[in-house]
Structure 1
Amino acid sequence: MESIIESPSVVVCRCSPTQKATVTDLLKKYRNKKIRVCAIGDGGNDVSMIQSAHVGIGIVGKEGKQASLAADFSINQFSYLTRLLFVHGRDSYKRTASLSQFIIHRGVIISVMQAIFSSIFSFIAISLYQGFLLVGYGTVYTMFPVFSLVLDKDVPADIALLYPELYKELAKGRSLSLKTFSLWVLISVYQGSAIMYGAFVLFGDDFIHIVSITFTALILTELLMVALAIRTWHTLMVVGEFLSFTCYILSIVIFQNHFDIRFLESWSFIWRVVTITAISCLPLYILKYMQTQFKPPIHEKLKQYSTLK
């Protein structure tokens, strides 16, 4: 058992299905809790092992499709495992991390704005935004750009296959950790505060339009933050950004009872909202540029190297 636990990979053959599943359970129980066990099989006697592992991969072969149907992932050849792990698996983890962070950011920033608004009015239970704005913020106004992150990739597939060390970076869990969560919470607090206090300072005489001012700056901030996080642009990402902003413009025209169009069309409103948005986003763009120049991540180095090569 000690040899099995210390082994980086284990091949189990000429064993019963129960014995294969037992080996998988031993690895899950006695190895480091951060390690995930992946079981690969191609026959019906591998079903128990596949289902016992954290991740099961079934190979469609001469022995039938029992393993394939019971697995989390199905492949036709064992050689496809390399691309499944190093390309699709890595991209899936990176995209899931980005999507989770933006969902956190989208919820925290509007909560911070509501908290600041309530504190100014002695914590009276007054909602900053009405119901349709909150629903629109979580759906049509920000949904398309945020979910377009599932198309993002930091390096092309050929580079990911050429440098398998990139996959090893995932084991450190740096893309989605307590550190990144805390960082995005701080970003949300800063941006929410910048939008609210910027609106109070620049629009002191037009406080009656606080909803239109802050909500417009909030939508622009979200769209710019998604653009900041994208590493490889896709056509649908551009469409998502444009479509979300267009939906917001159309809602202003449709819900004229809730928006003062004359005020929104004024130059005074436009330049001040642009200033508030720049204050909330520009420092992050500068920090990202400085990081790319002085301490670029490994995928940026590989992309630059492949371009020069």
Structure 2
Amino acid sequence: VLHTLPFDADRKRMSVIIRETSGKKRVIVLTKGADATVLPVLSTDFCSSDHGEDVIFNAQEHLSMYAKEGLRTLCLSMKVWSEEEYSEWKEKHEEAELDMLDRENLLAESTIRAEKDLELLGVTAIEDRLQDGVPECIHSLREAGIRVWVLTGDKVETAVNIAYSSRLFSPSMDLLNIGANGVRSVSDLLDEYLKRLARAQEVSSDAGDSFGLVLNAATMSYCLDPHNLERFVRLLRGCRSVLCCRATPLQKAQLVSLAKNQLKGKVLAIGDGANDVSMIQGADVGVGLSGQEGMQAVMSSDFAMARFRFLSTLLLVHGHWNYYRLAQTILYFFYKNAMLVFVIFWYQIFNGFSAQVPIDPVYLMVYNLLFTSVPPLLYGCLDQDASSELLIECPKLYEQGRLGKRYRWYSFWINIIDAIWQSLVVFFVCYLTYQNTDVDMWTFGHLLVTQLTIVNTFHLALFVQYWTWPMFWSMFLSVLSFFICALLYNGFVTANWTWTNVKDPPSMVSLKSFSSLEFLDGSCHLCRALFD
């Protein structure tokens, strides 16, 4: 082997230059690549000869037959160089390799010079079998309302057959094939397909689900032309599934950008090779598959997995759970803090708006840090509104997250109203408990913060749908930690703490409060209010 000319996405070919070790020791260029890139670089003499015409005709027949069977095809070609031709090419190629300014372009030109005037040897076909679970995974994603686009480097016939076997397309689908060349031809096709789509939507609002779009790389540039872009976007929006064939890495990234910016969608891109890196990096979420094509996609992704079928678990299960947990946890934190603020607000009404806070500042500092912090965090990490088996069996449950049903604009206000109502109950239970008594402010505030801690924890317990031992113990220990901290803190504070500038330090407040009949009475009234 004298030289290796590696594959790149622009040429879509790979070549090796070898010298025979016996016989005439000829220099031979061997090239393999897709038929669309190898056939155009065949020599004119070969194509016009009887032998060449027969070889090309038979090759095209076999290519079509293999593609219909869903096989991946390659064309093999060669040419023989004289020593003078090889020496001349080698000299220029080495100059290109040593160039410091324009090395990539010069190497590309040198490679193209080597890969021209070839003779077709034949074609190969290999079966690129789908991984287990791929059709079921794609079907589940489509049932969940996710639009699936496949961007592949395969030829159209092969890609369409794989699309049917992977359940991207269904037999009942009407395929719209954009295979024209030229801005005007593509424009006419777009108009025709949009009319067909409009007529179908007049009959049924879900008519777009029965259309699939097929396009190839040659027509992509015409579809993205400013003259056609708006209609192309409308057509993409109206089709359930899209298949793009012979796509280059740049075109894959362009389609991802189009889906994000024009269709205003959230895009997840999944791929397993170096050609998918730009697409993965341009998506909102990138998923890399580890496999035979290297680790470039994995290294560029947000998530890595070994099999495509795991994508349904990532989205339908963990995606659903994460949205549910995040929405519920955010609402709970709003509720918890709003309730604390409104309890203090109600106190101001009965205290002449003096801005005096009845709750000990130490309790205010550790309220969110210690007393009510761990349960909502575990709730946001562990809770499940449905089992993983149910979410896989019923993909439509994913719509709760996809359509944002768990957190709407009114969810916040309902939550705040609930916090206001509960703060009223807590405050007036304490107020009525100590009515017509000479209790001091610290004792009143101690009952307030005690009931706040209990009510907030109990409120969260009502929302938990998946009870675990960590969840139970976190709630129990959070409430217990309040009583322990209150006894230790108020037992440690003495009236001799003059350096705090507090004239009435809360000495032994918790012990006196816990042992009083008023505290027990207020706790009973609170429990009755909670369960009623």
TM-score bucket of the superposed structures, by smaller chain: 0.7 to 0.9
Whether the 8 Å CA contact 1:200–1:207 is kept in 2: the answer is no
Alignment of 1:132-143 (within 5 A): 132-143=362-373
1:155 to 2:386 alignment: yes
Percent identity (aligned): 25
Which residue, 445, 469, 493 being the options, matches 1:211?
A: 445
Alignment of 1:1-309 (within 5 A): 1-2=232-233, 3-12=235-244, 14-31=246-263, 33=264, 35-149=265-379, 150-204=381-435, 205=437, 206=439, 208=441, 209-256=443-490, 257=493, 258=506, 259-279=509-529, 281-282=530-531
Identify unmatched segments of 5+ residues in structure 1: 284-309
CA distance in 2, matches of 1:54, 1:76: 20
Note closer, same or farther for the CA distance 1:64–1:212 as it changes in structure 2 (3 Å cut).
same
TM-score by length of 1: 0.84
Q: Which has the higher contact order (CA 8 A, sep 6+)?
A: 1
Tell me if the contact between 1:5 and 1:27 (Cα under 8 Å) persists in the aligned partners: no
SS of match in other structure, 1:260: helix
Q: Deviations over 1:235-282 (max 9, x none)?
A: 100110111012111111211233330221234312312313542x34
Structure 1 CA distance, aligned partners of 2:245 and 2:306? 20
**Alignment length, in residue pairs?**
280
2:487 touches 2:510 (CA, 8 Å); kept in 1? no
Q: Look up the equivalent residue of 1:179 and give its one-letter code.
A: Y
Q: Structure 2: state its 5+ residue gaps.
A: 1-231, 494-505
Q: TM-score scaled to structure 2, two decimals?
A: 0.50
- Residues 193 and 28 (structure 1), Cα distance of their counterparts in 2 relative to 1, 3 Å cut: same
Q: C-alpha distance in 1, partners of 2:259/2:463?
A: 37
Task: Measure, in 1, the Cα distance between the counterparts of 2:391 and 2:418.
Answer: 30
Q: What whole-Å deviation, never above 9, does each CA across 1:197-216 have from its counterpart, x for those lacking one?
A: 22112222235321111100
Counterpart for residue 292 of structure 1: none
Change (3 A) 1:142 1:12: farther
Aligned twin of 2:86? none
Q: Report the structure, 1 or 2, having the larger strand content.
A: 2
The answer to whether the Cα contact below 8 Å between 1:174 and 1:180 also exists between their aligned partners in 2 is: no
Task: Summarize the Cα distance change of 1:54–1:20 in structure 2 as closer, same or farther, 3 Å threshold.
Answer: same
Verify the 8 A CA contact 1:217 1:274 in the aligned structure 2: no
Shift of 1:9: 4.4
Pair 110,265 (structure 1): closer, same or farther in 2 beyond 3 Å: same
Following the alignment from structure 1 to structure 2, what is the Cα–Cα distance between the partners of residues 224 and 12?
54
Q: How many angstroms apart in 2 are the aligned matches of 1:128 and 1:51?
A: 54
Residues 68-109 of structure 1 show CA distances to partners (whole Å, capped at 9, x for unaligned) of 232222211101011111111111111111111111111111
Q: Which has the higher helix share?
A: 1
CA separation of 1:120 and 1:17: change in aligned 2, threshold 3 A: farther
| Structure 2: distance between partners of 1:29 and 1:219 | 46
Task: State the SS of the aligned residue for 1:159.
Answer: helix
Quick check: which has more Rg, 1 or 2? 2
SS at match of 1:140: helix
